[in-house]
């Protein structure tokens, strides 16, 4: 049985990944590999070089820039995996009349603009759900009850966490997302196996935990928890003004959360383990035990991105 705790690594690497539709994208120090299971059972592999950027050496700034870059890359590979994983019949079934009209009357450039717009719409929806709505609902409640500053802060935090957990739980109820989260488990188990210094085989990988402290899920819950503390100082003069203040502080919030997660991923201290606990708990919703064929995809994705010398991928020795 996998241990539901922090992995006991031989060393911690800078290798990470993302679960996709019937596939996994793995990113190493120098290469990115996207592996997707085709409908015929074979695995499609796509490669890309990793480019270093000036902002990766600037604390706080690198968190914001990397979040934007990860959103862009994640959406790009998610769309790519959908194209590979779905059969022609399934793609035709998924296509609406509007999609077919776009394919017939527009070019790739315009379609890329629409894809970017839809990704931005998703970001706007997330901001509405987790930034505006908790403040709005707390404001409505304060109109009925006489609430001081700290009761408002606590109520807003509870509403925010409740909305987030409910959203994540509902996502797991769909068959497609459940499979994506199983691939997420395969990604974590494979990285844990590599960090333990073991050969990457299905049997070895299956023994490892599906919970990992360096995960996008951990980043999300850190953002929510740190936002409770950071936004507690903001005034409650009006809902609109408070939301504007939150938007202005969002880059700082993301930057701080990234640095905290980065530090926790490198440290074995008791405090670092405590910081990782909420993310590990949340991964009970965002990772599931994978099937053997999912682990095979994870192995195919991670193998090309691993450096010949493991020291090149190591953050620090345990």
pLDDT value, residue 199: 95
pLDDT value, residue 7: 44
The reply to whether 255 falls in a domain is yes
- In the predicted structure, residue 89 carries a pLDDT above the cut 60: no
Does an H or E element contain 77, and which?
A: helix 61-85
pLDDT band, very low/low/confident/very high, at 1 (cuts 50, 70, 90): very low
The reply to whether 4 falls in a domain is no
Rounded Cα–Cα distance for residues 76 and 51 (Å): 16
pLDDT band, very low/low/confident/very high, at 205 (cuts 50, 70, 90): very high
The reply to whether 99 falls in a domain is yes
Token look-up 């408070």 returns 242
The reply to whether 1 falls in a domain is no
Which pTM value belongs to this model? 0.83
- In the predicted structure, residue 3 carries a pLDDT above the cut 50: no
pLDDT band, very low/low/confident/very high, at 236 (cuts 50, 70, 90): confident
- In the predicted structure, residue 10 carries a pLDDT above the cut 60: no
First to last CA, the chain: 23
Do the beta carbons of residue 263 and residue 272 sit within 8 Å?
Answer: yes
Q: Which of 286, 148, 293 is nearest to 216 (CA)?
A: 286
pLDDT band, very low/low/confident/very high, at 217 (cuts 50, 70, 90): confident
- In the predicted structure, residue 280 carries a pLDDT above the cut 50: yes
Do the beta carbons of residue 259 and residue 64 sit within 8 Å?
Answer: no
pLDDT value, residue 5: 38
Number of domains into which the chain is organized? 1
pLDDT value, residue 87: 62
Q: By residue range, what is the domain housing residue 264?
A: 11-317
Rounded Cα–Cα distance for residues 51 and 27 (Å): 11
Do the beta carbons of residue 180 and residue 81 sit within 8 Å?
Answer: no
pLDDT value, residue 239: 87
Q: Crossing angle for the helix pair 133-144 and 239-266, nearest 10 degrees?
A: 130
The reply to whether 5 falls in a domain is no
- In the predicted structure, residue 104 carries a pLDDT above the cut 70: no
The reply to whether 297 falls in a domain is yes
What does the block give as tokens for 216? 């996008």
pLDDT value, residue 314: 53
131-189, pLDDT tens digit by residue?
Answer: 899 999 998 998 888 788 889 999 999 999 999 999 999 988 888 899 999 999 999 99
The reply to whether 6 falls in a domain is no
pLDDT band, very low/low/confident/very high, at 4 (cuts 50, 70, 90): very low
Q: Which of 194, 190, 188 is nearest to 202 (CA)?
A: 190
- In the predicted structure, residue 251 carries a pLDDT above the cut 60: yes
Pick left, alpha or beta for residue 49 (phi over 0 → left; psi -120 to 50 → alpha; otherwise beta): beta
Give me the mean pLDDT over the 189-198 stretch.
93
- In the predicted structure, residue 286 carries a pLDDT above the cut 50: yes
Give me the mean pLDDT over the 72-85 stretch.
90
In this structure, the dihedral spanned by the alpha carbons of residues 12, 15, 19 and 21, taken in order and rounded to 10 degrees, is -150
- In the predicted structure, residue 313 carries a pLDDT above the cut 60: no
Answer positive or negative: Cα dihedral of 218, 26, 265, 257.
negative
pLDDT band, very low/low/confident/very high, at 35 (cuts 50, 70, 90): very high
| Residue 218 or 91, more confident | 218
- In the predicted structure, residue 283 carries a pLDDT above the cut 60: yes
The reply to whether 31 falls in a domain is yes
């Amino acid at each position: 049985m996998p241990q539901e705790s922090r992995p006991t690594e031989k060393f911690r690497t800078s290798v990470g990944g993302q679960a996709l539709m019937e596939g996994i994208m793995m990113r190493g120090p120098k290469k990115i590999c996207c592996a997707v299971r085709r409908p015929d059972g074979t695995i499609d592999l796509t490669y890309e070089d990793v480019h270093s950027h000036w902002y990766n050496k600037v604390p706080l700034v690198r968190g914001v820039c990397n979040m934007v870059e990860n959103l862009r890359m994640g959406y790009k590979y998610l769309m790519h995996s959908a194209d590979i994983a779905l059969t022609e019949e399934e793609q035709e079934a998924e296509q609406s009349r509007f999609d077919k009209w776009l394919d017939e009357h527009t070019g790739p450039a315009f379609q890329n603009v629409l894809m970017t717009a839809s990704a931005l719409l998703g970001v706007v929806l997330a901001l509405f759900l987790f930034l505006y709505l908790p403040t709005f609902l707390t404001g409505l409640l304060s109109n009925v009850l006489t609430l001081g500053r700290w009761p408002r802060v606590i109520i807003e935090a509870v509403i925010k966490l409740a909305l987030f957990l409910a959203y994540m739980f509902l996502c797991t109820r769909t068959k497609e997302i459940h499979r994506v989260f199983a691939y997420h488990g395969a990604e974590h188990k494979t990285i844990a196996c590599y960090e333990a210094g073991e050969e990457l085989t299905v049997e070895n990988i299956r023994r490892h935990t599906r919970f990992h402290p360096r995960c996008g899920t951990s980043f999300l819950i850190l953002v929510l928890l740190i936002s409770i503390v950071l936004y507690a100082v903001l005034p409650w003069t009006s809902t609109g003004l408070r939301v504007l203040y939150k938007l202005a502080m969002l880059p700082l919030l993301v930057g701080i959360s990234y640095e905290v997660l980065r530090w926790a991923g490198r440290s074995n201290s008791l405090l670092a383990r405590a910081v990782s606990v909420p993310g590990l708990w949340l991964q009970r919703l965002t990772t599931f035990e994978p099937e053997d064929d999912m682990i095979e995809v994870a192995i195919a994705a991670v193998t090309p991105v691993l450096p010949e010398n493991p020291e090149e991928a190591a953050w620090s020795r345990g």
